[in-house]
Chains A and B, each alone.
Chain A
Amino acid sequence: MSHSPFRFVMIDDPVQAMDPAKVDGLARVLAEVATTRQVVVFTHDERLAEAVRRMQLDATVLEVQRRERSVVEVRVTGDPVRRYLDDARSLLRTPQLPPAIADELVATCCRSAIEAAGLAKARQELLAAGLEHGEVERRVRNAHTTRAMITLAIMGPGARVDDLNKHLSAVGGRWLVGVLRDATAGAHVPIDRPMRELISDTERFISWLRAHEPAAVRT
């Protein structure tokens, strides 16, 4: 590497079938190389991007989506939570969809934002508790619903989803239960809360979630 005249490195799909624990190591190596060269990585595996974000490495993640007729869209991937909420706000104002459908999509964006925040929190907490990467990924993949993900994030791997509401009320207040209920139900049934309010209440929920320190991770 040090003898190469090129000031950039381009890597195609480095993490295919890689052991999850090694992905972090790869991210660190690439960050090291990136101090002296431009590093460009192509991948369809999300773990490298997740590692980069979690380890707060200085990298830009671009998402490439191909539409019909080979039209290609490139977006900078910021915080997925932020993106869901921004999309929710623009859907709120759109005349391009029937209002009932736009509302369903707003609620689903809110649910996805909560799920994304829950996922990041779950990974953070479980890794901090000493679980192996592979085990963390297994737990996270087995959380099939938004409520299951939040349960995993704040109550730990052994907890039951049925106990979540009671726990939320105890550690943060009843309002959390209401927001989670409306965000998860709002895509299926009409809810009382106006959509604009649901978006800001979702933001409050996520702020609370990010700041919350679970007592101890029960394994």
Chain B
Amino acid sequence: MAERLEAAENLLSGDVSDAGGVWSRAVAWILRLALEQAVDELWAQIAPELMRCPMRAQLLALRVYAGPETAGQVGALWAALSRAAHHLDYEMAPSVTDLRRWRDQTGDLARTLELVPLAHQPFG
């Protein structure tokens, strides 16, 4: 996770010249993977069977385990990153402002999701 966020940072700051013109989409790709990883790490602790489910199902389950607000934020960010990541012809690449905001949101949500298992101590 930290490695992914660091790679995103390097791409954003222009330190990775080898990425060519794809650097902005690459940041979106990496952030989406980092977000999915944060969710997977949560499932690994409290509900491993959910790791294989499609994202839509995972987002629904997230409402139960992490609350509707956090689940909503994860869903919105994931949708935005997916949209930036999928090629829609000559649509403009995501802006640096958007990428920075998404990078910060990914970090924040990863931290929030880390805390979720503490709210779900098993009974007895």
Contact = CB atoms under 8 A, between A and B. Distances in A.
B112 interface: no
Interface stretch (B13-21, B41-49, B64-72, B114-122): B13-21
Given A98-B3, A105-B19, A112 B25 contact: yes
Interface residues of B, number: 33
Contacts of B108: none
B92 A87 contact: no
Nearest to A64: B92
Contacts of A91: 18-19, 22
A66 B33 contact: no
B74 interface: no
A75 B16 CA distance: 16
A50 to B, nearest CB: 5
Interface in A1-44: 44
A44 B16 contact: no
A80 interface: yes
A46 interface: yes
Where chain B touches its partner, the secondary structure class is helix
B26 A105 contact: yes
Contacts of A47: 90
Interface in B1-40: 3-4, 7, 10, 12-22, 24-26, 29-30, 33, 36
Contacts of A93: 18
A179 interface: no
A94 interface: yes
B62 interface: no
9 contacts: A46-B92, A47-B90, A66-B95, A68-B96, A83-B20, A84-B87, A87-B21, A108-B26, A112-B86
Interface of A: 44, 46-47, 49-50, 61, 63, 65-68, 71, 75, 77, 80, 83-84, 86-87, 90-91, 93-94, 96-98, 101, 104-105, 108-109, 112, 115-116, 119-120, 141, 144, 146, 187-188
Q: Which 8 A-B pairs have the closest CB atoms?
A: A46-B90, A94-B18, A49-B90, A87-B20, A87-B22, A96-B16, A115-B87, A112-B87
